[in-house]
């Protein structure tokens, strides 16, 4: 897992959770790039989601973690970037399944929905899970082909 590089960002609603997860990444020895405000003044989440998503799709980082109040806005914005498969995750089962079945390369978390303990568990599970391919590859290929129609 330490060979991974992760981009992590939050809006103003997710600063504390972002900082907690940055500490987790450091503990795990994972290289990361961090984005987002340091103060609670309101910021717009789309640009942060786009920044992380473009870093993932360019190959500059392997995976992305996005945090806002609910995770919904970040996930919607991230999924507008071609090549991103962002999943809004609130439990460890979904974190595992979205990597294995959907080859998710970005996850979104809601700072007002999950606490730091659960968020840490989710991130650890997600970072350790591997895409299975096989029967799932056809589905990912269908998504990618549809996406290409609109590029």
Distance CA 134, CA 9 (A): 32
Residues 6+ apart with CB under 8 A from 122: 89, 90, 91, 92, 95, 107, 109, 114
Confirm whether 68 is a catalytic residue: yes
Q: Which of 31, 104, 116 is nearest to 67 (CA)?
A: 116
User: At 19, is the secondary structure helix, strand, or coil?
Assistant: helix
Q: Which residue has the tokens 């899970």?
A: 129
Confirm whether 101 is a catalytic residue: yes
Find the catalytic residue in 12, 68, 86, 96: 68
Reading phi first (left if > 0) and then psi (alpha if -120 to 50, else beta), residue 9 is in: beta
Please tell me the number of Cα atoms within 13 Å of 11 on its side-chain side: 23
Find the catalytic residue in 12, 96, 101, 136: 101
- Tell me how crowded residue 67 is: count the other CB atoms within 10 A of its CB: 29
Report the catalytic residues: 68, 101
């Amino acid at each position: 897992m330490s060979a991974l590089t992760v981009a992590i960002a939050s809006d103003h609603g997710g600063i504390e959770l972002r900082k907690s997860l940055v500490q987790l990444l450091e503990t795990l020895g994972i290289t990361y790039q961090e984005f987002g405000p340091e103060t609670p003044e309101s910021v717009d989440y789309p640009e942060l989601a786009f920044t992380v998503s473009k870093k993932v799709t360019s190959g500059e980082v392997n995976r992305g973690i996005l945090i806002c109040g609910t995770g919904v806005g970040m996930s919607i914005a991230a999924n507008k970037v071609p090549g991103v498969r962002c999943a809004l995750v609130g439990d460890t089962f979904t974190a595992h399944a979205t990597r294995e079945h959907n080859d998710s390369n970005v996850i979104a978390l809601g700072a007002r929905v999950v606490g730091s303990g659960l968020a840490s568990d989710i991130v650890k599970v997600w970072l350790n899970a591997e895409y299975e391919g096989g029967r799932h590859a056809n589905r990912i290929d269908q998504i990618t082909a549809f996406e290409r129609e609109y590029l």
